[in-house]
Amino acid sequence: MPHPFTWVPGDHARHVSEDPVPPPGVEFPPDLTVTALCGREVTSAAGEIAWLWPTCPDCDGRARELVGAPPRTDSADGEQC
Ligand SMILES: [Zn+2]
Protein backbone atom coordinates (compact mmCIF):
# COMPACT_ATOMS: atom_id res chain seq x y z
CA MET A 1 0.00 0.00 0.00
CA PRO A 2 1.71 3.18 -1.13
CA HIS A 3 1.77 6.19 1.10
CA PRO A 4 -0.93 8.69 0.13
CA PHE A 5 1.49 11.50 -0.53
CA THR A 6 4.26 12.41 -2.91
CA TRP A 7 7.38 14.50 -2.70
CA VAL A 8 7.14 17.54 -4.92
CA PRO A 9 10.15 19.70 -5.74
CA GLY A 10 9.08 23.31 -5.96
CA ASP A 11 9.73 26.77 -4.57
CA HIS A 12 13.37 25.80 -3.96
CA ALA A 13 12.48 23.06 -1.49
CA ARG A 14 11.18 19.50 -1.55
CA HIS A 15 7.63 19.53 -0.29
CA VAL A 16 5.11 16.77 0.34
CA SER A 17 1.65 16.83 -1.23
CA GLU A 18 -1.41 14.63 -0.98
CA ASP A 19 -2.69 15.92 -4.30
CA PRO A 20 -2.74 13.35 -7.12
CA VAL A 21 0.63 13.53 -8.79
CA PRO A 22 2.67 11.02 -10.78
CA PRO A 23 4.17 8.19 -8.73
CA PRO A 24 7.91 8.07 -8.06
CA GLY A 25 9.86 6.95 -11.07
CA VAL A 26 7.62 8.76 -13.49
CA GLU A 27 9.04 11.92 -14.96
CA PHE A 28 7.54 14.71 -12.91
CA PRO A 29 5.69 17.33 -14.96
CA PRO A 30 6.88 20.90 -14.38
CA ASP A 31 4.50 23.76 -13.63
CA LEU A 32 2.10 21.49 -11.77
CA THR A 33 0.57 23.42 -8.88
CA VAL A 34 -0.21 21.34 -5.81
CA THR A 35 -1.01 22.08 -2.20
CA ALA A 36 1.79 20.96 0.08
CA LEU A 37 1.34 19.62 3.59
CA CYS A 38 2.90 22.80 4.96
CA GLY A 39 0.04 24.78 3.44
CA ARG A 40 2.00 26.31 0.62
CA GLU A 41 0.84 26.28 -2.97
CA VAL A 42 3.83 24.79 -4.72
CA THR A 43 4.50 24.84 -8.43
CA SER A 44 6.58 21.84 -9.34
CA ALA A 45 9.98 22.29 -10.87
CA ALA A 46 11.72 19.93 -13.26
CA GLY A 47 15.28 18.70 -13.48
CA GLU A 48 17.71 16.86 -11.26
CA ILE A 49 18.71 20.04 -9.44
CA ALA A 50 15.20 20.42 -8.11
CA TRP A 51 15.46 17.10 -6.28
CA LEU A 52 18.59 18.33 -4.52
CA TRP A 53 16.81 21.22 -2.86
CA PRO A 54 16.52 21.02 0.93
CA THR A 55 13.55 19.27 2.45
CA CYS A 56 10.75 21.49 3.66
CA PRO A 57 10.81 20.86 7.44
CA ASP A 58 7.06 21.38 7.83
CA CYS A 59 6.26 18.87 5.12
CA ASP A 60 8.85 16.47 6.48
CA GLY A 61 7.29 16.57 9.92
CA ARG A 62 3.75 16.07 8.65
CA ALA A 63 4.78 13.25 6.34
CA ARG A 64 6.40 11.51 9.29
CA GLU A 65 3.18 11.86 11.24
CA LEU A 66 1.26 10.29 8.35
CA VAL A 67 3.46 7.22 8.26
CA GLY A 68 3.93 7.06 12.01
CA ALA A 69 7.64 7.72 11.87
CA PRO A 70 9.37 9.53 14.71
CA PRO A 71 10.37 13.14 14.09
CA ARG A 72 13.90 13.94 13.08
CA THR A 73 16.32 13.91 15.93
CA ASP A 74 18.90 16.04 14.18
CA SER A 75 18.07 19.71 14.37
CA ALA A 76 20.54 20.65 11.67
CA ASP A 77 17.95 21.40 9.01
CA GLY A 78 15.40 22.86 11.35
CA GLU A 79 15.96 26.35 10.08
CA GLN A 80 15.59 25.65 6.39
CA CYS A 81 12.68 26.48 4.14
ZN1 LIG B 1 6.44 22.25 2.46
Q: Which residues contact 5 (CB under 8 A, 6 or more apart)?
A: 16, 17, 18, 37, 63, 66
72 Cα: distance to centroid of ligand 1 (angstroms):
15
Length of the chain: 81
> Which pLDDT band holds residue 81 (cuts at 50, 70, 90)?
low
d(CA 24, CA 77): 24
Q: What is the pLDDT of residues 6-31, one digit of tens each?
A: 889 999 999 999 998 777 677 778 89
Give the mean pLDDT of the chain: 85
d(CA 4, CA 18): 6
Look at residue 37 in the predicted model and tell me its pLDDT: 96
Contact status, residue 52 vs residue 31, Cβ threshold 8 Å: no
78 Cα: distance to centroid of ligand 1 (angstroms):
13
55 Cα: distance to centroid of ligand 1 (angstroms):
8
Query: What are the residue ranges spanned by the domains of the chain?
Result: 6-22+32-67
